[in-house]
Structure 1
Amino acid sequence: MTEPVPAPAPFAPAPPGALVVYRGATLIDGTGGAPRPSTTVVADGERIVRVAPDAETDPADHPGAEIVDLTGHVLLPGLIDSHQHLATPPNRPVAEATLRRDLLGGVTAVRDMADDLREIGDLARAALVGEIPAPDIRYAALMAGPTFFDDPRTHQVCQGATPGRAAWMQAVTEDTDLPLAVARALGTSATAIKVYADLPGERVAAVAAEAHRQGALVWAHATVFPATPGEVVAAGADSVSHVTLLAHEAAGRPLTSYRDKPPVDHASLLGGDHPRIERLLAVMRRRGTILDATASMADRLAGEAAASGDAEARRRALDSSALSAALTAQARRAGVQVSAGTDCDPDPAQPWPPLHQEITFLVRRCGFSVEQAIHSATLVGARSMGAAADMGSVEEGKLANLVVLAGNPVADIARLDSVVLVVKRGRRHPRLEEQ
């Protein structure tokens, strides 16, 4: 009997025993600490086995290893985009091109925040085994109130199924069998339940409790309407998305529904010291709730509006950008963990991932040091997707996910756009050779 031939996996993780010694780099390790000059990182297959100063390592201790001289270069952990949508609507060629662009720009993992999980699941498998050049993908199945499911996006991701009834896109009411609903969602191989819209605080709490009981993470919009940010955090969300939604903690009237958002009093929030927001952020810090800020999203919208000549849309986007910067800076000062997510799917022909823009926004507009912003885009991102044991920092035992820069981003954050080599699970991807 002839065995079936598996699909080719030209980008598979490096096999055990494939030793590579990276020497001479200045290491920014993702923990938020200062750069470490003249550092050696040794990879065996897909794992890091040693990180030490050059002076304390001898390549002869690793017979047969390939030596890669990184003198004059900066070494980072693989970057993590904690907010992407890769299949709304599904378009496999565009998704693969986007993932390839992101990988060659240094992104080795992404958090997909609910899509058509039939396609996302296959993309995640293909990325993991190396059939396609792509970051690793962890993803969420969505739950929301029934009134949300006339949103056209839910129909885009449920072709052939019914929005609100599909395992990856479920409507939740007080009568829902939550153990069954969560089990159905996790049957898609989702890492998390994403709580989106039109649910009161007690229902958000019930979903979160059942998801945690079944071993899943809970990723939520920062305001779920009518659930307030404070209620979402108290319900046990592991991360909350979109920093500007935190503004609704200071709303002047009760929240009702996703489509009936009250106006935001920008002037009271731009000082970055609103007491209601300060109390919320203190709770987030104590609970370890991660803020997936998507801080630079409004800047991109302002650029799109300017290009189209829509002056009013540009004004609104610039107002939102100023609010985003003020609230993200306030979260940083309060000690909240901030991850770097984009919620942006630009033309894959663009040369660099939008995550570079998010990191730059954190530095230039939100008061983050370069090391703090890289920490947000690496270790905090890994925590947000439940993957910190394997990725997010350059440490022994973790995956050999590395980014080599020709320039120093500490001197100029624009030097993020100087990637020359990306290593994902020990497999090297030279940027110029694979473009």
Structure 2
Amino acid sequence: MESMLAPGRGARKEQGGSRSAADDTMPGAGTIVWGPDAPLDPDAATTAGLLAADPDSARPRPRRTPPAAAVVPLAIEHVAIVACDGSRCIFPDSTVLVNAQGVIERIGESDALDPYIPREYRRIPGRGRFLMPGLVNLHAHGFSDGALGAFGGPKVRAFHAFRHSFLGRTARARRDLDFARSMMAEQLAAGVTTVRTGGDMGYEMVALRDAVNAREMVGPRIVASGPTIGTPHGRRTSRRMLDASTLEAARDSCRRNIEAGVNCLSLSITADAGDDIDVSELSHVQMTERQIRAVCAEAHRRGLLVAARCLSSQAVHTALLAGADIVEHGAALDRESLRLLRRNPLSLRGWSALVPMLFEAQTRATLPQSELGQSDAARANARLVCDGVAKGVRQADLADVAIGVGTDSGVTFMPQYAMWRELDALVRFGGLTRAQALHCATLQGARILGIERVTGSIEEGKYADLVMLEGNPLRHLRELESPTLVVARGVALWKPRPRRLPELDRMLDVI
């Protein structure tokens, strides 16, 4: 971290200080800092209809050309930089310069840099505030805001029944794209600048990824998985999955996703914690090692990562033996699984990572059954999974395994803006420190996706994926709930405000 600062400068404790009067001259809440004079309405940029769906095509197509996401050079001044490298290092009174390509070009002490800031750079006051890398969410969904309905309840069943009806097939591509676009805007407003989707309705996230990369719209960097690959008699939501019931079907489903343009694969190899099944069935692995290995081999030939949904120790072990690069949701880990996580000869890069979803597990295990629509069997499953996920996090931490952060945003009771809650759960229930949790949600997450050279930390030469907060996240992770500024590849959003679900927030606050 010292290399990113002026020569001879070291880490020091943060210093307080009141914000300057320049704060009052900044744009209003939710404004995108596009040009030096006239801010653009964020609704026009982040939620405008940018793409249309073609029901006859695997991928949605552009509807009209949206305004380009122009980058205005920025100078974030007099801010305290939180390293997010696993330590508690903070570099006070720093200035970060972001060029017109959205890349960090200079970092140093404010007194040294301020006299040399070019006039065309928009100055953003940071005195008394904290700047950290943008968050990396390794598991999110764009098909819901998290308040769709109870697990396995009639609303969910009716929703999936409609989606697979004649009318549903015609309308769903457009609806999926429109909704996913708004959900990615919610992620960005919550400080998430990189999202890996953990299973999509179709290929709407591929279209959004391409639009963001082309700067046709403002959004987080997207790693799109496409539809999850699984068995038709597996999870209760299997109708949105691609078939992997046989070895050849698994290969075909993998190729279908790859041909559609995904840059990651998602497998589901166990039942859901909310399924109304006997506890003994929860550990059953629904794909064979050969089937999983076939998907991994096909994906790895194309240079793509494979993530496997695992809710039992047996499933984790099987997935790792087959070459899975990421095991997600999680469970208690045996010695062999810990060894394979650190060194996996069949994975793409020779090691694998754990992406636990501890807060989601806590919601299913602790919220009232009446609110969740849970049977007694489903509650027993949820408690078993919750205990296993927490134990797995502690084991992985002690074994120096790569741990990332995913929220499962989009499933019931998991809103798109809940990233800070997952970090808090990793600290309270998984035994990590706040510094470790922030590292897992930034640089470690980027490393797991293989993009650590371009994002994940505040360094010269990397893209400006940044979050500015009013308070120190090393003291209170809830500071992440309301960012003052979010910067995604150089495009700055001042005081973003995700659309909140107050009743749901009150329920989640008691966990």
Q: What is the TM-score of this pair, normalised by structure 1?
A: 0.77
Inter-partner Cα distance in structure 2 for 1:353 and 1:281: 31
Query: Contact 1:296/1:324 (CA < 8 Å) preserved in 2?
Result: no
- The alignment status of 1:355 with 2:411, answered yes or no, reads no
Instruction: Determine which of 289, 292, 316 is the counterpart of 2:352.
Output: 289
CA-CA distance at 1:209 after TM superposition: 2.1
Aligned to 1:40: 95
- Corresponding position: 1:185 with 2:257: yes
**Aligned pairs (5 A) from 1:233-382:** 233-244=320-331, 247=332, 277-287=334-344, 288-301=351-364, 302-303=366-367, 305=369, 307=371, 312=376, 317-345=382-410, 353-382=417-446
What CA deviation, in whole Å up to 9, does each residue of 1:35-74 have, x standing for no partner? 2222221111211112233354344154532222211111
Q: Match for residue 252 of structure 1?
A: none
d(CA) in 2 for partners of 1:283, 1:5: 46
- Work out whether 1:423 is the aligned partner of 2:508: no
Determine the C-alpha separation between the residues in 2 that align with 1:53 and 1:237: 43
Question: What is the CA distance between 1:403 and its match in structure 2?
Answer: 0.5
Q: Secondary structure at the match of 2:358?
A: coil
Residue aligning to 1:256: none
Structure 2 residue aligned with 1:107: 192
Question: Equivalences for 1:89-104 in 2 at 5 Å?
Answer: 91-92=175-176, 93-104=178-189
Q: How many residues align?
A: 383
Structure 2: 5+ residue runs without aligned partners? 1-61, 145-159, 161-171, 270-285, 345-350, 500-511
SS of residue paired to 2:459: coil
Relative to structure 1, the CA distance from residue 344 to residue 53 in structure 2 (aligned partners, 3 Å threshold; closer, same or farther) is same
**For residue 392 of structure 1, what is the aligned residue in structure 2?**
456
When normalised by structure 2's length, the TM-score is 0.67
Q: How does 1:118-197 map to 2 (within 5 A)?
A: 118-130=203-215, 132-141=217-226, 144=229, 147-148=231-232, 153-155=237-239, 157=240, 169-171=242-244, 173-175=246-248, 178=251, 182-197=254-269
The 1-side partners of 2:227 and 2:409 are apart by 19
Answer whether contact 1:379 1:391 (CA < 8 A) is retained: yes
195 and 314 in structure 1: CA distance in 2 versus 1, 3 angstrom threshold: closer
Change (3 A) 1:128 1:315: same
Q: How does 1:201-220 map to 2 (within 5 A)?
A: 201-220=289-308
Provide the C-alpha distance between the structure 1 equivalents of 2:136 and 2:127, rounded to a whole number of angstroms.
Answer: 25
Quote the offset at 1:372 in angstroms: 1.1
In angstroms, what is the RMSD of aligned CA positions? 3.2
The CA distance in 2 between the partners of 1:348 and 1:103, in whole Å, is 19
1:74 aligns with 2:130: yes
Rounded Cα–Cα distance in structure 2 between residues aligned with 1:53 and 1:235: 49
Mapped contact 2:200–2:228 kept (Cα < 8 A) = no
Q: Is 2:229–2:253's contact at 8 Å kept on the other side of the alignment?
A: no
Change (3 A) 1:206 1:432: closer
Residue 133 of structure 1: CA displacement? 4.5
- Larger deviation: 339-348 or 307-316? 307-316
Return the match for 2:318 from 218, 227, 231.
231
- What is the rounded CA distance, in whole Å, between the counterparts of 2:250 and 2:384 in structure 1? 42
The equivalent of 1:25 in structure 2 is 79
The aligned residue for residue 405 of structure 1 is 469
Cα distance change on mapping 1:319 and 1:122 into 2, 3 Å? same
SS at match of 2:203: helix
Percent identity, aligned pairs only, is 28
Query: Are 1:64 and 2:129 an aligned pair?
Result: no
Pair 40,347 (structure 1): closer, same or farther in 2 beyond 3 Å: farther
Unpaired runs of 5+ residues, structure 1, are 158-162, 164-168, 250-276
- Residue 31 of structure 1, CA deviation: 2.7
d(CA) in 2 for partners of 1:349 and 1:224? 21
